[in-house]
Amino acid sequence: MRFLYLLFAIVLLFFQAAPGSADPLFADTAECRSQGNFCRNGACPFPFAASGSCHGGLMKCCSK
């Protein structure tokens, strides 16, 4: 039974995110966020307008 706890701890450590792994995979996402904008699925909220795309064109880049 103790072996299962140890195995669970090792699996959690194995799948833990490494520093820097949260970097965006898509260039358009990185460009959107570097300009202080954010990505959103669907329409942008009222004071914001779509200024481009994110995640390879699947999402919209919302800016003021």
Q: Is residue 50 part of a domain?
A: yes
- CATH number, position 40: 3.10.360.10
- Output the pLDDT for position 3: 78
Q: Is residue 12 part of a domain?
A: no
Q: Could you tell me the pTM of the whole model?
A: 0.59
Q: Is residue 3 part of a domain?
A: no
In whole angstroms, give the CA distance from residue 30 to residue 34: 6
- Structural domain count of the chain: 1
Range(s) of the domain holding residue 49: 24-63
In whole angstroms, give the CA distance from residue 29 to residue 22: 12
pLDDT score of 23 more than 60: no
In whole angstroms, give the CA distance from residue 25 to residue 31: 11
The pLDDT confidence band at residue 15, using thresholds 50, 70 and 90, is confident
Query: Mean pLDDT, to the nearest integer, of 25-38?
Result: 90
Taking phi over 0 as left and psi of -120 to 50 as alpha, with beta for the rest, 43 belongs to: beta
Q: Is residue 14 part of a domain?
A: no
